[in-house]
Amino acid sequence: MAGILDKKERMLDFIVTLEGRRQAAQGQMKIAYASFTDMHTFYRASGSFDVAEPADNRLFFEATNRIQDVIVPELEPGNSLRPFRAGDFVVEGHTMASGSFKVGFSEKSNILTGSAIQESDVALLDSITQNFNDLRILRTSDPFSDTSDLVLSSEARNFTMVKDTVFRRAPKGTHFVVGGKHTYTKANIDTAPSLFLDKRFGHFPNFDYLPPVNLPAPERELGDPLGTYLNLTEEPDMTFDDVINSMAPNVQQAKIEFDDTSRDNNLICQVFEFSSDGVEKLSIVDGGEFDDGDPISPGKQVYYVGKIIRDTSGTETFFNIFTVVFD
């Protein structure tokens, strides 16, 4: 909030953040929700009833961009993170820096490499969460809820993903034995379906099979097709059993229980990959909701988590690393 307030007027000052401006310039900005903060004001009790003192004569700072504005870092094409800062960390592309040190009169960041990146994964994610807390968004407490916390089951704190992945949509590369250790070359990306053929995207309108047709006559609703065009897209998963059957047999899995949640259960989920090469944010594809016949908790929401990679022809291909199911 900013401005000079009087007894009959309320001035709300707002700006479009740098990320919002970038999206607006590309025609991608869509305002879906609004929140308010009282970060730039203060409260002082007036009298003995703890009533806030009038703010008529106070001066307030104008709204401005802050590093805490970035809660969900955006991805550039090719799984490269747009520059953002969280706490003592600065991430740009795959490069991650921590803190700063002075060289002469200039200040440079301490670029992290190798194991230092993997050791800083929790600290960076906690800093992103702190960005959200630092917004100090106003909210209304639910008087009929005894908690608004989010507590995950203890067994979900850590689990290990093994490297012996069974590929169902892209065959393993050539098998080698080096020093008694079995290994494979990289999977052949050209054998995996592109985004416009992948069944995981088939339910989105932008990925519909739309063969070209002639303009319809005035008395007809649809025009005649220009020709016979083969539909090369994969058959989409129609049921939750189809989703399960599309996975490899005996697939590794981990179950995470919500020991404590709020009434609304508004969740935000981001997935990052930390390796010795840098930090990446994985892409998430909404696979849709499937009926599971459960009268208590109807429906299972499926999300596919992975990377979007270009094949040798320059076509974008989605490689699914793991699947998340919310029940």
What three-state secondary structure class fits 265?
coil
110-114, 264-268, 286-290: least confidently modelled range? 264-268
Which residue, 128, 146, 33, is CA-closest to 72? 128
Q: Is the pLDDT reported for residue 10 higher than 90?
A: no
What was the pLDDT predicted at 284? 92
User: What is the rounded average pLDDT for all residues in the chain?
Assistant: 79
Q: Is the pLDDT reported for residue 303 higher than 90?
A: yes
**Angle, CA of 88, 92 and 98, to the nearest 5°:** 25
CA distance linking residue 194 with residue 308, whole number of Å? 10
Mean pLDDT along residues 171-177: 61
What three-state secondary structure class fits 102?
strand
As a whole-number percent, the residues of the chain with pLDDT over 90 amount to: 6
Q: Is 287 exposed, middle or buried (0-12, 13-18, 19+ CB in 10 A)?
A: buried
Greater model confidence, 52 or 211: 211
Q: Is the pLDDT reported for residue 30 higher than 80?
A: yes
Q: Is the pLDDT reported for residue 194 higher than 60?
A: yes
Contact 109, 98 (CB under 8 A): yes
Beta-bridge partner residues of 191? none
Joined tokens for residue 286: 């909404």
Which residue, 250, 249, 246, 236, is CA-closest to 287? 236
What was the pLDDT predicted at 79? 63
